[in-house]
Amino acid sequence: MTMIFKTPDAVVPAYSPTGNECALFETAWMRRLPLLLKGPTGCGKTRFVAHMAARLGLPLTTVSCHDDLTASDLTGRYLLKGGDTVWVDGPLTSAVREGGICYLDEVVEARKDVAVVLHPLTDDRRMLPLERTGEELAAPSSFMLIVSYNPGYQNLLKTLKPSTRQRFVAIEFDFLPRDREIAVVASESRLDAAKVAPLVDLARRLRMLKGVDLEEGVSTRLVIYCASLIEAGLPVPEAVRAAMIEPLTDEPDVRAALIELSGSILR
Ligand SMILES: Nc1ncnc2c1ncn2[C@@H]1O[C@H](COP(=O)(O)OP(=O)(O)OP(=O)(O)O)[C@@H](O)[C@H]1O
Ligand SMILES: [Mg+2]
């Protein structure tokens, strides 16, 4: 099942920038250039896109790519409706028609044939070929394609080909600096900044273990979960274990070491 989310405009989701990414996004959009966002899980890529789409007043269609996702899942297909065969636009086609933003999350997961529809759309042609209907849609100037992926946990076979990757302006994302991450977690979870600080310190410490004992560091998302559990009244050690340790590993030894480490940092 393809997950498609349409974000209602009007509300601008809060986003705390780390650099010049907002200006870069806006300039790329004005110049009709597609964007590639790279970075670890839960560091704010999706939030950034939602924020910018709302700021620019553009409809946003997000597609979470998975390993069964084909080109026609994006472009559309003929479906039987009451005895008739009717063409139904896929999310990419609708986004092109309405001149909005189409955001393909974890694009490296998708099948190879997806590149075939993305290529003419991401060079100066800005065309979406609909093979089945014989149509060639010209993307309106407000249309923007954004793809994201996490270079960390991909295996070698699952990276973007240079011919695809070199069609995008790219932004690398990383976790926020300490004080900014504390502010974001406090505002999202409504837990006091003073109580959030040790959780962020623990997260930063655990991120150093990435590649050694852990596949991925703790995401800002998990720190927000943890802070929300504490704000709701759960004891700190329980919240930390449930939100910041269990999701990271299934290895009993590693888990025990993480619990010990968290105890020493949160003391
Ligand atoms: N710079 C930021 N400003 C505001 N909120 C942030 C920021 N970075 C992270 N967050 C918070 O962290 C949560 C996770 O971020 P988000 O879902 O955007 O991550 P992601 O990079 O898209 O992760 P994934 O690769 O797993 O999809 C958001 O819901 C938001 O609350
Ligand atoms: Mg995301």
- For each of the chain's 267 residues, which pLDDT tens digit applies? 455 655 555 689 999 998 999 999 999 999 999 999 998 888 899 999 999 999 999 999 999 998 888 999 999 999 998 889 999 999 999 999 999 999 999 888 888 888 888 999 998 999 999 988 889 999 999 999 999 988 776 555 567 888 888 899 999 999 999 999 999 999 999 999 999 999 999 999 999 888 777 777 899 999 999 999 999 999 999 999 999 999 998 889 989 999 998 998 887
Alpha helix segments (H runs only) across 99-251:
114-121, 162-165, 178-189, 193-207, 220-231, 236-240
Architecture of domain 3-172: 3-Layer(aba) Sandwich (3.40)
Ligand 1, pocket-test mutation among 179, 185, 220, most atoms within 8 A of CB: 220
The two counts, helices (H) then strands (E), for the chain are: 11, 10
Q: What ranges do the domains of the chain cover?
A: 3-172, 178-266
| Residue 44 CA, closest ligand 1 atom number | 18
Closest residue by Cα to residue 213 from 167, 160, 256, 249: 249
Distance CA 127, CA 98 (A): 14
**What pTM was estimated for this model as a whole?**
0.89
| Residue 175 CA, closest ligand 1 atom number | 8
